[in-house]
Amino acid sequence: MGSFGHPLRFGVVIEAAAGDPARAARLAAVAESVGLDLVAVEGDATSEGFDPWTTLSWVAGRTTTIGLLPVSLDPAEQPPAVTARAALSLDRLSDGRVSLALTTGHDTQQESVAQLAEAVDIVRGVLTPGAGGLDYRGDHFQAHVDAGPAAKHRIPLWLSGSGAKLLSLVGRSADGWLADLGTGDERALEDLRSGNSAIDLAAHFASRDAGDIARIVRVRGGFDAAGAADGFCHGEPARWVKDLAPLAVRDGVSTFLVTLADEAAIERFAAEVVPALRERVNADLGVELPTRWPRTAQARSRRAPGLDYDAIPEELAEIAVEPGDFDYARVRSTLFVTGTPALVLRPRTVDEAGSAVRFAAGTGLEIAVRSGGHGIGGRSTNDGGIVIDLARMNTVEVLDAGAGLVRVGAGAKWGQVAVALAPYGLALTSGDSPGVGVGGLALGGGIGFLGREDGLTIDRMRAATVVTADGSVLRASAEENPDLFWALRGAGANMGLVAEFEFEAAHRTDVGWAQLVVDASDLPGLIAGYGRVAQAAPRDTTAFFHVGPSAPNQPRVAQISVMVASSDPDQVRQRLVPFTELAPVYDVQAVIAPYAAIMGSLPDDEDGGGQQGGGELVSRSALVPELDAGVVTSLATMLERRVVWVVAIRAMGGAISDVPVGDTAFAHRDAGFQIFARGARLAQVDGAWDQLSQSAVGTYIGFDSDERPERINAAYPDLTLAKLREIKKTYDPRNLFHDNFDVALPRTRRPE
């Protein structure tokens, strides 16, 4: 059968035997330090040794990169649903390092294999992302498993054992076959070859590619001169290479698990056997084996037609996500919108971001750039195009603590930024969710809880690293490419991929914070009162207002969130009192705490399983000078008639209004409030919102999903739009970046 072209991997088997409780972790740490790929823990809960799952958890805590494999897991001894949840939990805790190997022990009778087949179905069902739980009724097992967090990666499911029925099951259902060669006598080697043939045949009849099934062998060896009768894998490293190379070249084995006596043997195996064996196998095959596992035939079958996946730059290919990949469900969508991109590229550096832009531009497909995926309009995903996901470009670096100068990757989350800056006594005004990505918010404006004191997020920007449409990397600042720097602050998504930002953070630690739940029975009066109090407050006070649908048989309530840029208790109390007098207060939480702690307490909208979308969202935004009678009546009517589900109002003014109108592409410095509303029926929402918009001075692009061309008029006034179009001709003449309020669209005025 020959090699399947899989990468060679090497690991050690550690028995969870009683005696030295630290031995397993010690051997695993040595295996990791010398570069081995896997540590397998063998044992069972019924023996006198340690429980393998507990042992493996201890090993996971003492290591950081090596793969983790529990072997000899018999469904007859532990319910498969329990096994699956244990694997899922350990995979999350270990950052995606777990594989699984199930067995029937020495029993290969039909009943035991049928039991194993049901176990495979249950384990697969629990581990499948987005499955929403599992209800299983079989002849041998019954299981009800509620939906839980997704695994960090696709957990390989191997089966070990022999017998025709088990091998047939491997060919139909498993990701790999683990064969125990024992002492490597001729019969064991013949069983390996005949087992491979049986698996290949079963795979053929199941319409599977036999190359998608890994072949793993377990070997017991040593470096002593005497060993097994034929000396298989005993003695000098050259003997090991001689014995193992044919298994890789002729029998398709790609993973070798060895049982060795001690740390010295592990070190010698890694130093003298592994490199020599790799060299020998590559020489015998006449080709160098890859370093990463190839995609399965099933995964390749889901590729989008017309896109040359083999042309993806090597530095991006290893972590790119295709429609058939396990991670696709995690990265295809945004928080609000479900996408079906043909490819998701995940650069880790500025240079890789440049490669991603050049490759994507050459395909002619739609391109979406994603930093956090919170975009209300779903503009950071698409259908059939390419998404450039910057989540791995998430570093936060303090360049000059005294000056407050920090460098932040576009893929960082604002909660992460707050935590990283806190030890330096620094804070950056951001949004109202710690899960929002830096890039999206920072390029549109950035209305945050410190906005009236510190300005918009763009007002704290001092420089940016930009990948333009041709893949070039530029620095934009007041001194370097100042026209681009101007455009980035309010319309940055139109100009290129911004990989890094430099901000001037404020010197700030503790702040005052309160969340009030108040009666909203008199909704117009409450909105108007909030507007008066928020606008009259000193600039150190920023208040947000949020109201949703009323619960059945319950009074309508609203939430008012207030941040005071002060740690003085009397000053904070003074600022909060006017808000408490707006309406009866049902609940209040007020603290003086670090800004990072406040951000960390806010809803994140993430469960670790990625963003799952949820259908198209109708959201609208308006920037208004004040909450006058017309605005208040419109909002209250929309809520009462359920045209919209939720309304959020964010106070502006203060430092935001200090910046001259022409200094940034965000031009609406005269706005007193930003209003956001969300609904479901497009025609109803537009009808009501168009009336409210008559009182607006513009829109804030971060909260508006309206794709009508005339919305460009609301986002950018005449002079601003004309300047943006001239700048875009310089940096993006082909309009590669156009999926977020495209400034290149012809200007369209509404009918008078």
Answer yes or no: do 330 and 280 share one domain. no
pLDDT for 228:
46
Question: For residue 612, is it within any domain?
Answer: yes
pLDDT for 150:
81
- Around Cβ 226, how many Cβ atoms within 10 Å? 9
Residue type, 337: V
Answer yes or no: do 91 and 192 share one domain. yes
DSSP conformational letter for 750: P
In 161-303, DSSP assigns E strands to 176-180, 214-220, 255-259
Question: For residue 492, is it within any domain?
Answer: no
pTM for the complete prediction?
A: 0.89
Q: Please identify, among 365, 389, 413, the residue that sits at the C-terminal boundary of a domain.
A: 389
Question: For residue 228, is it within any domain?
Answer: yes
CATH of the domain at 369: 3.30.43.10
Answer yes or no: do 651 and 558 share one domain. yes
Answer yes or no: do 244 and 336 share one domain. no
Q: Which of 331-340, 472-481, 490-499 has the lowest mean pLDDT?
A: 331-340
Element (H, E) at 105: none
The chain-wide mean pLDDT, for the chain, equals 92
Question: For residue 647, is it within any domain?
Answer: yes
Element (H, E) at 221: none
The 3-state secondary structure of 542-569, one letter per residue: EEEEEECCCCCCCCCEEEEEEEECCCCH
Confidence band (pLDDT; 50, 70, 90) for 230?
A: low
Residues, the chain: 752
Strand partners, 541: 564
Query: Contact, 196 vs 170, CB < 8 A?
Result: no
Answer yes or no: do 560 and 676 share one domain. yes
In 702-748, DSSP assigns E strands to none
Q: Is 206 exposed, middle or buried (0-12, 13-18, 19+ CB in 10 A)?
A: exposed
Which tens digit of pLDDT belongs to each residue from 400-432? 999 999 999 999 999 999 999 999 999 999 988
Residue type, 323: P
Answer yes or no: do 242 and 385 share one domain. no
Strand partners, 340: 383
Query: Contact, 627 vs 673, CB < 8 A?
Result: yes
d(CA 544, CA 515): 10
For the chain, the 3-state helix, strand and coil shares in percent, each to the nearest 5, are 35, 20, 40
pLDDT for 751:
38
**723 or 224: which leads in pLDDT:** 723
CB contact set of 388 (below 8 Å; sequence gap of 6+): 344, 345, 347, 353, 356, 357, 360, 367, 368, 369, 370, 497
304: pLDDT strictly greater than 50: yes
Give which of 333, 329, 326 is closest to 373, Cα–Cα: 333
Q: Which of 37-51, 144-158, 383-397 has the lowest mean pLDDT?
A: 37-51
pLDDT for 697:
94
Per cent of the chain over pLDDT 70 is 95
Query: Contact, 102 vs 116, CB < 8 A?
Result: yes
Query: Contact, 526 vs 632, CB < 8 A?
Result: no
Give per-residue burial for 267-306: e unless 16+ CB within 10 Å, then b.
ebbbebbbebbbebbeeeeeeebeeeeebbeebeeebbee
**750 or 536: which leads in pLDDT:** 536
133: pLDDT strictly greater than 60: yes
Query: Contact, 70 vs 40, CB < 8 A?
Result: yes
Helices 274-285 and 237-251 cross at an angle (nearest 10°) of 40
For residues 219-229, average pLDDT: 71
Question: For residue 212, is it within any domain?
Answer: yes
CATH of the domain at 85: 3.20.20.30
Answer yes or no: do 309 and 230 share one domain. no
Strand partners, 513: 563, 591
The 3-state secondary structure of 308-341, one letter per residue: CHHHCCHHHHCCCECCCCCCHHHHCCCCCCCCEC
The 3-state secondary structure of 251-285, one letter per residue: HCCCEEEEECCCHHHHHHHHHHHHHHHHHHHHHHH
Give which of 267, 317, 375 is closest to 29, Cα–Cα: 267
Question: For residue 479, is it within any domain?
Answer: no
Answer yes or no: do 222 and 135 share one domain. yes
Query: Contact, 53 vs 24, CB < 8 A?
Result: no
Query: Contact, 166 vs 108, CB < 8 A?
Result: yes
750: pLDDT strictly greater than 50: no
d(CA 549, CA 679): 11
Answer yes or no: do 227 and 312 share one domain. no
Query: How do 497-504 and 506-507 pair as beta strands?
Result: unpaired
Q: Please identify, among 363, 389, 415, the residue that sits at the C-terminal boundary of a domain.
A: 389
Question: For residue 490, is it within any domain?
Answer: no
For residues 3-7, average pLDDT: 94
Answer yes or no: do 280 and 351 share one domain. no
d(CA 583, CA 558): 10
For residues 598-626, average pLDDT: 75
Element (H, E) at 499: strand 497-504
Confidence band (pLDDT; 50, 70, 90) for 342?
A: very high
For residues 472-487, average pLDDT: 98
For residues 243-249, average pLDDT: 97
Q: How far is CA 588 from CA 518, 536, 569, 571, 580, in A?
A: 9, 22, 16, 18, 9
Query: Contact, 147 vs 629, CB < 8 A?
Result: no
Full domain range(s) for residue 542:
510-718
Strand partners, 587: 517
Per cent of the chain over pLDDT 90 is 76
CATH of the domain at 630: 3.40.462.20
463: pLDDT strictly greater than 90: yes
d(CA 733, CA 713): 21
Q: Find the radius of gyration of the CA atoms of the chain.
A: 30
Which tens digit of pLDDT belongs to each residue from 45-94? 556 678 889 999 999 999 999 999 998 788 988 899 999 999 999 999 99
d(CA 649, CA 638): 14
Which tens digit of pLDDT belongs to each residue from 345-385? 999 999 999 999 999 999 999 999 999 888 776 689 999 99
Q: Please identify, among 370, 389, 408, the residue that sits at the C-terminal boundary of a domain.
A: 389
Question: For residue 423, is it within any domain?
Answer: no
Q: Total domain count for the chain? A: 3
pLDDT for 679:
86
User: What's the gap between Cα 59 and its chain centre?
Assistant: 26
pLDDT for 596:
96
The 3-state secondary structure of 4-20, one letter per residue: CCCCCEEEEEEECCCCC
d(CA 450, CA 429): 5
CB contact set of 339 (below 8 Å; sequence gap of 6+): 332, 333, 368, 378, 381, 382, 383, 387, 613
For residues 244-262, average pLDDT: 95
Map residue 356 onto helix, strand or coil: helix
Query: Contact, 721 vs 743, CB < 8 A?
Result: yes
749: pLDDT strictly greater than 50: no
Which tens digit of pLDDT belongs to each residue from 539-552? 999 999 999 988 78
d(CA 350, CA 221): 46
Answer yes or no: do 218 and 319 share one domain. no
Answer yes or no: do 107 and 167 share one domain. yes
Query: Contact, 153 vs 100, CB < 8 A?
Result: no
Confidence band (pLDDT; 50, 70, 90) for 752?
A: very low
Give per-residue burial for 35-68: e unless 16+ CB within 10 Å, then b.
ebbbbbbbbbeeeebbbbbebbbbbbeebeebbb
Residue type, 681: R
Torsional sign, CA 400, 403, 407, 408: positive
